[in-house]
Copies of this chain bind each other. A is one copy, B any other.
Amino acid sequence: MALARHIGQTVASSSFIRKMFETGIRLKQEYGAEKVCDFSLGNPSLPPPAAFSEALIRVASQSFPGKHAYMPNAGYADVRAAIAGWVGKAQGIDLPSSHVVMSCGAGGGLNVIFKALLNPGDEVVASLPCFMEYRFYAENHGGVLKTVPCKPGFDLDLDAIAKALTPRTALVILNSPNNPSGTIYPEATLQGLAGVLADATRKHGRTIYLVADEPYRAITYGQPVPGLLALYPHSIVVSSFSKELSIPGERLGWIAVNPAAEDAAALIDGAVVCTRILGYVNAPALMQKAAAACLGVTADMAAYRRKRDLLCPALKRIGYDLVEPAGTFYAFPKAPGGDDLAFVEALQKQLVLVVPGRGFGMEGYFRIAYCVDDDIITRSLAGFEAAFRECT
């Protein structure tokens, strides 16, 4: 076998997700795509805002020196400056443009930061439920993902996090608003987390960084998303324009390093070098210019609220045990009957596709990505009801 062993294992261990997708494709072929209600992918259903589409056409039509060319690995200077001002304001700190590094989406930005921070065997701590790609991102760079259970209702369990921190802990990763639960961690929890990290940093004599993965910051339904950079010095925010501009396929994101972080300058140098040597080289050029031209503009987020309000109360009426999401376009109910794989299969028989909770480290739940057309939500409710009856 020529394939690297760990990659062969990764392909094999992704097989249940793959099987699920293949089932979805088969169902769509068999019954017609319009008959299948596909809630399995976090692919925003909303078109990009008009301001972005106009900015893109404008930039694409302009002539300027260096258009489409290499720029410094950290990104265009004017784009970094614009993002620094915008992110600093959202986070409640003064952020110099030198502290922003443009990335190939949040996935690229997280890989860059993990590579810059992890020595072999170092641990990355994440609270469940979480986006399990974090495990691969850690392992890509010699690290290990250590997951920690949450409190009922998905808030962070600070005691559990404190117990998970060791001299091997390089960083804690936090995703708020959270994929898959839709939870926004409240400011009091985050202040508590900052205290836990400061204590462990003192105790172990090693600075623990806090990495905030924030691509859903703009998708909220009233509850504020606290600015982490103002709450903990050794912090880094990684985000992307994928969700707020509905352009996930364009792979545009950014990294912001707190000026108060230990070794901030070395960390920025490291992030720039890692951007280069991981083969990203730089974030896509034209998209940098287009996104920077419409910072703060978002896709029609009221539409996600409408979709949430179409879906969640209806699921509760059926009997689903569900914490209403405060942000994101995901809901994460308990799987009726308790077995997430069995329940996902029961839903498939109703031509409704979702992801089992074990894909996010929590068996017994399932994720609904409701970033779909309203009528798919409406049509799916009979299937959600039938599968509920079948499994309870």
Q: Which residues of A contact B (CB under 8 A)?
A: 1-8, 10-11, 14, 41, 43-44, 47-48, 53, 56-57, 60-61, 63, 66-71, 104-105, 107-111, 115-119, 122, 133, 136-137, 140-141, 207, 209, 234, 245-251, 262-263, 266-267, 269-270, 273-274, 276-287
Task: Specify which of B43, B60, B245 is in contact with A60 (CB 8 Å cutoff).
Answer: B60
CB distance from A111 to the nearest CB of B (A): 4
Task: Please name the residue on chain B nearest to A261 by beta carbon.
Answer: B2
Contacts of A251 in B (CB 8 A): 104, 251, 280-285
Contacts of A283 in B (CB 8 A): 251
CB distance from A196 to the nearest CB of B (A): 18
Contacts of A68 in B (CB 8 A): 48, 245-250
Does the CB pair B3–A116 fall under 8 Å?
A: yes
Task: Please name the residue on chain B nearest to A249 by beta carbon.
Answer: B285
Does the CB pair B263–A2 fall under 8 Å?
A: yes
Does the CB pair B250–A285 fall under 8 Å?
A: yes
Closest 6 CB pairs of A and B: A249-B285, A107-B279, A136-B277, A111-B279, A68-B247, A108-B279
Does the CB pair B119–A5 fall under 8 Å?
A: yes
- Are A70 and B3 CB-contacts (below 8 A) given A8-B270, A105-B281, A279-B110? no
- Are A116 and B4 CB-contacts (below 8 A) given A70-B249, A136-B277, A277-B137? yes
A266 and B10 CA atoms in complex are apart in Å by 12
Task: Specify which of B11, B117, B276 is in contact with A270 (CB 8 Å cutoff).
Answer: B11
**What are 22 A-B pairs at a CB distance below 8 A?**
A2-B207, A2-B234, A4-B119, A7-B116, A7-B274, A8-B266, A10-B277, A43-B70, A57-B57, A69-B246, A69-B247, A69-B248, A107-B280, A107-B281, A108-B281, A109-B279, A140-B140, A140-B277, A248-B281, A249-B284, A250-B284, A251-B282
Does the CB pair B273–A14 fall under 8 Å?
A: yes
Task: Please name the residue on chain B nearest to A263 by beta carbon.
Answer: B2
Task: Specify which of B4, B7, B118 is in contact with A4 (CB 8 Å cutoff).
Answer: B118
Does the CB pair A69–B44 fall under 8 Å?
A: yes
Contacts of A66 in B (CB 8 A): 43, 249
